Amino acid sequence: MADYFVHESSYIDEDVTIGSGTKIWHFSHVQKGSQIGENCSLGQNVNVSNNVKIGNGVKIQNNVSVYEGVVLEDYVFCGPSCVFTNDLTPRSKYPKGSVGYKKTLIKYGASIGANATIVCGHTVGRWAMIASGAVVTKDVPDYALMAGVPARQVGWVCECGMPLKDGLKCKVCGREYVLMDGKLEEK
Of 43-51, 78-86, 138-146, 155-163: span binding Zn ion (CB under 5 A): 155-163
- Determine, following the binding rule CB under 5 A, whether residue 184 of this chain makes contact with Zn ion: no
- Determine, following the binding rule CB under 5 A, whether residue 168 of this chain makes contact with Zn ion: no
CB of 128 to Zn ion, least distance (A): 14
Of 2, 149, 160, 178, the residue at the interface with Zn ion (CB under 5 A) is 160
CB of 129 to Zn ion, least distance (A): 12
Of 118, 124, 129, 170, the residue at the interface with Zn ion (CB under 5 A) is 170
Q: Which is nearer to Zn ion, 82 or 170 (CB)?
A: 170
CB of 72 to Zn ion, least distance (A): 22
Q: Are 111 and 161 in contact (CB under 8 A)?
A: yes
- Determine, following the binding rule CB under 5 A, whether residue 88 of this chain makes contact with Zn ion: no
Of 120, 147, 162, 168, the residue at the interface with Zn ion (CB under 5 A) is 162
d(CA 22, CA 16): 13
Q: Which is nearer to Zn ion, 80 or 161 (CB)?
A: 161
Sheet of 53-54: strand order equals: 17-18, 35-36, 53-54, 70-72, 104-106, 123-124
- Determine, following the binding rule CB under 5 A, whether residue 173 of this chain makes contact with Zn ion: yes
Q: How far is CA 78 from CA 8, 24, 46, 81, 131, in A?
A: 23, 14, 11, 8, 11
- Determine, following the binding rule CB under 5 A, whether residue 149 of this chain makes contact with Zn ion: no
Q: Which residues, 6 or more positions from 19, have their beta carbon under 8 angstroms from its beta carbon? A: 2, 4, 36, 37, 38, 39, 40, 56
Q: Are 41 and 56 in contact (CB under 8 A)?
A: no
Of 128, 144, 158, 184, the residue at the interface with Zn ion (CB under 5 A) is 158
Helix, strand, coil share (%) of the chain residues, nearest 5 = 0, 35, 65
State the chain's maximal CA–CA distance in angstroms.
Answer: 54
Q: Which is nearer to Zn ion, 13 or 186 (CB)?
A: 186
In degrees and rounded to multiples of 5, residue 72 shows phi and psi of -110, 115
Which residues bind to Zn ion, rule: CB under 5 A? 158, 160, 162, 170, 172-173, 175
